[in-house]
Amino acid sequence: MSFLLLSCIETESVICPSGRVCAPGLMCAVTQDICIETPCGDGITQADEACDDGNVMKGDGCNESCTSNETCGNGIQDPSEKCDDGNTVSGDGCSADCQSTEFCGNDYLDVAKQEKCDDGNTTSGDGCSADCQSTEFCGNNYLDVTKREKCDDGNTLSGDGCSEDCLSTEFCGNNYQDVAKQEKCDDGNSLGGDGCSADCRSTEFCGNDYLDGAAGEKCDDGNTLSRDGCSADCLSDETCGNGYPDLFKNEQCDDGNTSGGDGCSADCLSDETCGNDFPDPGEGCDDGNNSNDDGCNADCTNPENRCGNGLVDSGEECDDGNPIHTDHCLNTCKRARCGDGVIATQINPPEQCDDGGESSECDLDCTEARCGDLVVNGKANEECDHGVETPSCTAMCRVSHCGDGYSNPAAGEACDDGNADSCGTCSATCSQARTPTTAKGQLKAIPGNQFDDGETFVLDDGLSRPLTFVFTDVDDSEDTDDLKFIQNEGSAWDMADAIRDKINAQEPLAIEATLPGILGFTVVLRHTEQTALGNQRIIESVLNPNFSVEGMSEGRAGDCAQGIGCMGPEDCAPGLECTTTTTTTAKVCQQ
């Protein structure tokens, strides 16, 4: 019977050890009970084979075509691998274990790409930032804007320029009360007179032991009692000549100086009217009435006394017997003094001005008011005066701080764009200027037949919603609001042309695409606005490693939001203007 069966088998057939009969042209696999057409599976590694384990099964150290020994780094992407670029080095687009294509949002922590996290998306605010560089906790030395951080200096300590919760850069006027900086309040400005002082150290009520000049206080001794050197309403230091009549001090008047002869005596105890029973300078007598023939004339003069006779009569401070009104003795027989309203040009040193007190043109020492004269003139809106520009006082005699819109070199400022945030043309510490530039990126195309149907890349201009571009094998695919289709056909040059044209056809996408010949089939992308908001990643799903992208980067300035201080339009985000508000002269970004 065996002889009869064998006689039915063609002479060129092969009988395997298992008894399987392989037809002519086929051969037996060594370790698998099948017939094979090629040498793959014969147990002998041929010149064109990477391995041969005697079977055509995958997952056992040699794949089914004998072209891969199924190890990472052999240049062949096996089913268990996400990529394989022929090495086991990370940082080149394929991780050392071939499990990651090394882009943020793939749910794989790529340490070689400096990723701090990767939760499988590119959305901030969920514990991992959109660029995978931050785990979004305060103190990690990364500014998480989505978490409303204003700063992050790598620690959770206050008092070092960044608060312990990273919500304040610890300067007065940022609408955050920094207790570590001894702030008592912070209403978002440094004006004073609005319930919070310009230095945020006072809530501006009388009796808090803090002198609130902007609230009109002249003193504050920590109580609301008079007769202790500060009046109950904090408007007087209870000295004569302060412009405030202190009744508890028996003052009858106070005209803001300690000069007599101007309607208020030098000691503020007389209104200098004849008949008040107070002998004022210039009066020969004052008996408390305006009658004659009682030893004192009705006009409080004695017949034998007169100013200008060269004799210092009763009631006169001086009498030089000349008609000159600008020397040391005035024509009223009063001694010339700063604040009497007479410009005494013939005294030493001569007065430059005298407005009867401080004015915007005249200092209290009767010298002409100017910024830099070392005299702080409040009527001229001076906040300080150090003679020269210093770290705390600008050349305009204003208190200096980063964000005031003035770049103070003495304070180490290199710039000041009107805010202390990290946006605009100047850093949050005013130490580094930023030249407005546009963001740039690029895509390198491949031939149309090397794209798989449905592969995508996403462009985000930072101003409008992202657009998804889809490579398709279908001829009549129609674009939607969110999906823009590109036909997979032609050479890499043709695909580069198609990509460029499709991008440039999109409105309102603020990204312009060009195809410079010197870069081959690389599509160069440039943001149409000078703004840091254009620095966005380009997310793509193309498996072919020859298709590559470089995300949008190098955009600077032009990113300050609504209500943030500014100095020019280059500080504000697109769509906003840098203009003054209706309540202050400060400029802010607004529509």
Give the model confidence (pLDDT) of 92-142 as tens digits.
Answer: 999 999 999 999 999 999 999 999 999 999 999 999 999 999 999 999 999
**How far apart, in whole angstroms, are the C-alpha atoms of residue 324 and residue 339?**
18
Task: Kindly report, residue by residue over 494-543, the tens digit of the pLDDT.
Answer: 999 999 999 999 989 999 999 997 878 999 999 999 999 999 999 999 99
pLDDT at position 387, please? 93
**Poorest-pLDDT segment among 227-231, 292-296, 351-355:** 292-296
Better pLDDT: 456 or 285: 456
Dihedral sign, CA of 62, 66, 70, 73?
Answer: positive
Burial class (CB in 10 A: 0-12, 13-18, 19+), 250: exposed
Residue 303, pLDDT above cutoff 70: no
pLDDT of the residue at 302:
66
CA distance 517 to 295: 113
Kind plus residue range of the DSSP H or E element containing 4? helix 2-6
Count H helices and E strands in the chain, helices first: 2, 14
Question: CB atoms < 10 A from the CB of 39, how many?
Answer: 15
- Per DSSP bridges, beta strands 440-444 and 548-553 are antiparallel
Average pLDDT, the chain: 91
What average pLDDT does range 1-5 have in this prediction?
37
Identify the three-state secondary structure at position 524.
strand
pLDDT at residue 2, rounded to an integer? 37
Can you list the pairs that 38-42 forms with residues at least 24 positions away whose Cβ atoms lie under 8 Å? 39/66, 40/64, 40/65, 40/66, 41/66
What residues contact 358, with CB distance under 8 A and at least 6 apart?
Answer: 364, 377, 378, 379
Neighbours of 521 (CB within 10 A): 19
Q: Give the H/E segment covering residue 499.
A: helix 492-504
Please state the rounded mean pLDDT for residues 82-99: 92
pLDDT of residue 11 exceeding 90:
no
Given a cut of 60, whether residue 221 has pLDDT beyond it is yes
The model's confidence at residue 67, banded by pLDDT at 50, 70 and 90, is: very high
Is pLDDT of 293 > 80? no
**Do 528 and 555 contact (CB within 8 A), yes or no?**
no
Q: Averaged over 62-69, what is the pLDDT? A: 92
Amino acid 4: pLDDT? 37
**Overall residue count recorded for the chain in this entry:** 591
Q: Let me know: does 132 contact 104? Beta carbons within 8 Å.
A: yes
- pLDDT score recorded for residue 9: 54
Give the integer Cα–Cα distance in Å for 116 and 103: 13
> 195 versus 432: which is more confidently predicted?
432
Residues 31-39 have a mean pLDDT of 92
The pLDDT, as a whole number, for residue 27 is 93
User: Do 557 and 437 contact (CB within 8 A), yes or no?
Assistant: yes
Could you give the CA distance from residue 432 to residue 419 in angstroms, rounded to a whole number? Answer: 13
User: Residue 505, class by beta-carbon neighbours within 10 Å (0-12 exposed, 13-18 middle, 19+ buried)?
Assistant: exposed
Poorest-confidence range of 214-218, 237-241, 399-403? 214-218
Instruction: Assess whether pLDDT exceeds 60 at residue 8.
Output: no
Q: Is the pLDDT of residue 6 over 50?
A: no
pLDDT-based confidence at residue 283 (cuts at 50, 70, 90): confident
Which pLDDT belongs to residue 429? 95
Reported as a pLDDT band with limits 50, 70 and 90, residue 89 is: very high
**Residue range 419-442, pLDDT digits in tens:** 999 999 999 999 999 999 999 999
pLDDT confidence of residue 304: 59
Q: What is the dihedral of CA 3, 7, 10, 16, to 10 degrees?
A: -20
Q: Please say whether the dihedral angle defined by the alpha carbons of residues 284, 287, 290 and 293, taken in this order, is positive or negative.
A: negative
Q: What is the pLDDT of residue 1?
A: 36
Question: b/e per residue, 96-109, with b = 16+ CB within 10 A?
Answer: bebebbbbbbbebe
For the segment 381-422, what is each residue's pLDDT rounded down to a tens digit?
A: 999 999 999 999 999 999 999 999 999 999 999 999 999 999
Separation CA 147–CA 247 (nearest Å): 58
* Helix (H), strand (E) at residue 501: helix 492-504
